[in-house]
Structure 1
Amino acid sequence: MANQTPAPSAGLRETKKLETRQLISAHATRLFLAQGFERTTIAEIAAAARVAKKTVTNYFPRKEDLALDHQEEFATSLARAVDARRPGESALAALRRAFADSVASRDRIAGFSGRESARMIADSPTLSACVRGLHDQRARHLARSLAEATGTDADDITVRAAAELLGAAHRTLFHRVQELTLAGHPDERIARTLTAEAARVFDLLEPALADYATA
């Protein structure tokens, strides 16, 4: 009986899949930055990565998934911050602290994506619409967490209003980071500016939400 080549282990297969995913993502990013998101095709990305078009779409069902590869993390970020609030800490206080941490670490979730990436998004109607949708998703996830925290229904008007107010604050700050990035300000200067400006934004919400959803 002829010798058979043993099947690769599950660990090896997963490693290979991760490498393929990273390869496709790297080539897509290079092409998007070089010629713009809208002008780049899946076929060009596949050719650059030397894989089939079907392989690209298996890993990334939509082209925007190649440009915005942290969508789930972004959409759930505010909800996760509320879920992780400390004893005696309100939702607003937890979100305020989490935002300060994200600015300190220059987190992409807060908008620190670099000038090239910010320009790519700003120049693309598709990506700009996708980012708007992600902000909407983030508010919906936040509403569910606030509902659980307060023992109310996610459709309750107070929960919905609180989620929209908190979501709008973060949307405003995200766009401020992008605006300063596109203007050419270095991350260190943007972080200093946002630290001061975020304090003003969150202070506006204190009278209404200072004790809301306290753990």
Structure 2
Amino acid sequence: MPNRGDRGGARTRARIAEVATGLFLERGFDEVTIAEVAAAAGVSKVTVFSHFERKEDLLLDRLPEAIELVRAAVRERTGGAVDALRQFALTLAEEPHVLSGLGGDVGPLMRTVAESPALIARLRAFGYEIEAELAAEFAADARFSGDAPLIAALVVAAYRTVAVETIQRRLAGEDLAELAESHRERLTRAFDAVERGVGG
């Protein structure tokens, strides 16, 4: 298995994801096989699966990055955990990062996701994965005591609600500058509500 940390492995992974995404957006996720992705990328099926555990991850290849970014935001905080995540979410919006729903051309991607039950299920599973990661991080903070799972669920729900609305409004054709401002305002309100409820 290639070392995912080396430059060659990273380039190969990025190339496979790029090729797969192009095929999925053109033909639909469920209509493209792993064998077709491998052939188009010039690699074997074994190589594809050495970089991606499941077919869905070929399109949703930024999900592992999201977990790492959230984990770092909590571990490297100087203040409250909820506030650190609020600042992290606002930073994603300012960049704008694709994970905020404001960066990149999300239209074709989200339409492809909406048409595939497998991709929708993967996104739902990811929600539970990132909740579990956050809960583990919060559990290490004595201030959160036994409430860590609840706080993690509230934070994830707050962010998901704002991001989903932003994506829906982008798909409806709203002005991006106005939408970005609204996105930041809604993030602030959402995290304020969570912070008030859990005391920081």
> Of residues 121, 135, 139 in structure 2, which corresponds to 1:147?
139
Aligned-partner Cα distance in 1 for 2:71–2:41: 36
> Of residues 106, 110, 129 in structure 2, which corresponds to 1:118?
110
- Per the normalisation by structure 1, the TM-score is 0.80
- Per the normalisation by structure 2, the TM-score is 0.85
Which residue of 2 is the match for residue 90 of structure 1? 80
Does the Cα contact within 8 Å between 1:74 and 1:134 map onto a contact in 2? no
Q: Residues 139 and 191 from structure 1, CA distance in 2 versus in 1: closer, same or farther, beyond 3 angstroms? A: same
1:160-188 deviation digits (Å, cap 9, x = unpaired):
21111112111212212221232233543
1:12-31 deviation digits (Å, cap 9, x = unpaired):
xx544444333322211110
> Of residues 199, 202, 205 in structure 1, which corresponds to 2:194?
205
The 5 Å alignment of 1:1-215 reads 14-86=6-78, 89-112=79-102, 114-150=106-142, 156=146, 158-209=147-198, 211-212=199-200
Aligned-partner Cα distance in 1 for 2:67–2:57: 14
Q: Does 1 or 2 have the higher relative contact order (CA < 8 Å, sep 6+)?
A: 1
Aligned-partner Cα distance in 2 for 1:59–1:76: 17
1:98-154 deviation digits (Å, cap 9, x = unpaired):
11111111212223452111212122111111111111111111111111122776x
Radius of gyration: which is bigger? 1
Matched residue count:
195
Aligned-partner Cα distance in 1 for 2:40–2:179: 35
Does the Cα contact within 8 Å between 1:76 and 1:138 map onto a contact in 2? no
Aligned-partner Cα distance in 2 for 1:19–1:203: 40
Amino acid in structure 2 at the alignment position of 1:196: E
What is the Cα-based RMSD across aligned positions, in Å? Answer: 2.4
